[in-house]
Amino acid sequence: MHRGGRADLSEKLPLFTCRVGNTWFAVPAVEVEKVVSSAEGLTVAAFPGIAVKPGEGGSYMVSNCGGSRVGYHIDEVGRIDAFPANSFYHLPDYLKEQCHRAVWGIGLVGGCAYFLIDLADIDTETI
């Protein structure tokens, strides 16, 4: 089973959003199993541009796509909601090649930017 994925942006998107540092990220809600406070027993990973800081507080968004359970370090859970169609956009060509490959879209909703992440493109590490 493929971990991650890129949804059709013209459709209403059920997303899980979370904040890491000053940045908000979004992943398809169906890929999120739960949020836990400890990384114990998990393979951990970090969102693009964020260093993994295991054991320094925060929580972990657990995804079990692809058969392995991976915990992504997050600071705050945002919305778990269906975002309106066409509120998310593909990254402009100029940015695509200069951005982390896992970032494939951006949503500008209510003055906040959410970066769409393809979990399949995030490297994981075992701690």
Angstrom distance (rounded) from CA 44 to CA 51: 11
| Total chain residues near another protein (CB under 8 A) | 23
CB of 61 to another protein, least distance (A): 16
User: Binding of another protein at residue 58 (CB under 8 A)?
Assistant: no
Which residue, 23 or 64, has its beta carbon nearer to another protein? 23
Alpha carbons within 13 angstroms on the beta-carbon side of residue 46 total 14
Closest CA to 75 of 17, 29, 19: 19
Which token pair is 109? 């909703």
Q: Does 50 bind another protein (CB under 8 A)?
A: yes
Indicate the SS3 state at residue 12.
Answer: coil
Shortest distance, CB of residue 116 to another protein, whole angstroms? 12
Residue 110 within binding range of another protein, rule CB under 8 A? no
